Structure 1
Amino acid sequence: MDTEAQHTERDRSSETEERSRSARISGPAERDGETGGWSWRRTGVVGGVCVVFLLLLSHFVMQPFLIPSGSMEPTLQVGDRILVNKLAYRFGDQPRRGDVIVFDGTGSFLQEAPEENPVTGALHGAAAALGLAEPAETDFVKRVVGVGGDRVVCCDGNGRLTVNGVPVEERYVLLGDAPSKVPFDIVVPQGTLWVMGDHRSQSSDSRDHLGQPGGGMVPVERVIGRADWIGWPFGRWAGVPETGAFDAVPAPAAGGHG
């Protein structure tokens, strides 16, 4: 009887130890499973916060902008993603001659914005704001050639563009391109800009809208920002080159040009 009792006690003791060992082994695994569930939620929340942060950054400070065409070659290539500084003109500074800017062409290059589905438009806008899609049809990137009051003429006897009577050596223009095959002589109204692409023969710019309302002039308030950096591809990672082409150009004469 005593022997059987001892065996029974040992059996019960073994079962208790086994349960305890199983609890010690399975407990952390179950907790890990719970942690894994929370980890996925955390990942989703963190990802969402990052997207919101990037959208806010893009909206107020710095926006990636995908270059969809060759109109700004050789300065900007098709597929480049530039970083547009939205603070460049926020604190009283104005666009200057030679700046490469991104602007909303509604009312100047386009008389009205094209209609689009609100949902797909919002999704495309978010993707474009992150540099993942082509920009909106209303957004353009060009170089400022004339500011308010400037007289811009093309071309002089040597085939050069002049601003306020001074010839401009446009070394940023694609090699082999003429400054313009379309002659023009315009005075830029105050508060507007005359803009042109660096690949003159392939750029639809202010020249193409001379006969339309606004005369191809871009209102300063439509400027989104200044293109300061090329962020992608990595092989072209650099600042957008500045130019001294307009350094000798004087301020426009008071009262405009005759």
Structure 2
Amino acid sequence: MDTEAQPTERDRSSEPAPPGPEGRSRFALVSRIADWLPGGRITLTALVCLVFLLLLNTLVAQPFQIPSGSMEPGLRIGDRVLVNKLAYRFGAEPRRGDVVVFDGTGYFGDADYIKRVAGVGGDRVVCCDEEGRLRVNGRSVDESAFLHAGDRASTVPFDVVVPEGRLFVLGDHRSASSDSRDHLGSPGGGMIPVDDVIGRADWIVWPVGHLTRLDRPDVYARVPEAADAPARAPEASDAHARVPAPPTAHARVPGGSAAAGGAHG
């Protein structure tokens, strides 16, 4: 008697189908590439990971190292922040209070900078009110939560209206920051084009003990939109005294150059 079990139709249907011609050709291509590379599949895997990281760094997120104290106390010298490069890619634009990294070429210098957005297109930014605070669209902003201890909002007065498509940016350590105040008389008036913003700094990722999410301060949520703000006084000036710019240093990303992954202070 033939006692060998015969597969039923159900058994045959549950068996995995052999790879088709397209699958076999794909596997064959991978095998040929692996055979061609020194180190075989290990080298191929490393190259795929490297390409993935490069794409991630170029299109999604990029680390930047803080080179100076211009954003203290929140960002300290040597901190590494992770910049979200998709934050403003799909119709969203920088908002007041965001910490942004931007290309300062032609405006601040031939380098990348990191600052906090104090005013967006249409905003009137004034310093200072009767209590020495920044005023945006007629609303005083209490910056004590992030302003460096002992610093004033500004040591010189200014009164500007930010053009559409541009940003007015300031460092949190005002006495050690070269920012929009220092370039009011320069081309562009110290206002940074939104198109030159690389991304929004969302996290401090190094050192581990300083791991922090960089949230937008609540104080800016109470600032009215430019259309709802009081009319600008006709005697107000667009530019006043300039603040001396402190020396800054290039920032460097481990394994990279300052131009590729750094932000000035």
Match of 1:6 in 2: none
Q: Structure 2: which amino acid aligns with 1:159? A: G
* Higher CA-based Rg: 1
Q: Does 1:174 pair with 2:148?
A: yes
Equivalent in 116, 119, 123 of residue 143 of structure 1: 116
Q: How many residues align?
A: 195
2:221 counterpart SS class = coil
Q: Does 1:195 pair with 2:169?
A: yes
Task: After superposition, give the CA deviation of every residue in 1:149-179 in whole Å (9 maximum; x if it has no partner).
Answer: 1110111111111001111000210111111
Q: Does 1:56 pair with 2:55?
A: yes
Match of 1:231 in 2: 205
Q: Structure 2: which amino acid aligns with 1:95? A: P
Query: Offset at 1:244?
Result: 0.8
Query: Offset at 1:61?
Result: 0.4
Equivalent in 209, 215, 225 of residue 241 of structure 1: 215
Query: Offset at 1:41?
Result: 4.3
Query: Offset at 1:52?
Result: 2.0
Match of 1:207 in 2: 181
Alignment partners' CA distance in 2, 1:142 and 1:167: 20
Q: Structure 1: which amino acid aligns with 2:79? A: D
Query: Offset at 1:231?
Result: 1.1
Match of 2:157 in 1: 183
Match of 1:119 in 2: none
Match of 2:32 in 1: none
Match of 1:105 in 2: 104
Task: Compare the two structures and name the one with the higher helix fraction.
Answer: 1
Alignment partners' CA distance in 2, 1:47 and 1:206: 44
Equivalent in 143, 162, 169 of residue 135 of structure 2: 162
Query: Offset at 1:99?
Result: 0.3
CA contact (8 A) 1:75 1:241 kept: no
Match of 2:95 in 1: 96
Alignment partners' CA distance in 2, 1:248 and 1:77: 28
Match of 2:258 in 1: none
1:201 counterpart SS class = helix
Match of 1:222 in 2: 196
CA contact (8 A) 1:105 1:139 kept: yes
CA contact (8 A) 1:64 1:83 kept: yes
Match of 2:46 in 1: 47
Alignment partners' CA distance in 2, 1:214 and 1:235: 39
CA contact (8 A) 1:173 1:199 kept: yes
2:178 counterpart SS class = coil
2:195 counterpart SS class = helix
Q: Structure 1: which amino acid aligns with 2:179? A: D
CA contact (8 A) 1:151 1:186 kept: yes
Alignment partners' CA distance in 1, 2:96 and 2:200: 12
Q: Unaligned stretches of 5+ in structure 2?
A: 1-36, 234-265
**Percentage of matched positions with identical amino acids:** 61
Task: After superposition, give the CA deviation of every residue in 1:13-43 in whole Å (9 maximum; x if it has no partner).
Answer: xxxxxxxxxxxxxxxxxxxxxxxxx994444
TM-score using structure 2 length: 0.70
Query: Offset at 1:241?
Result: 3.2
1:175 counterpart SS class = coil
Alignment partners' CA distance in 2, 1:43 and 1:247: 51
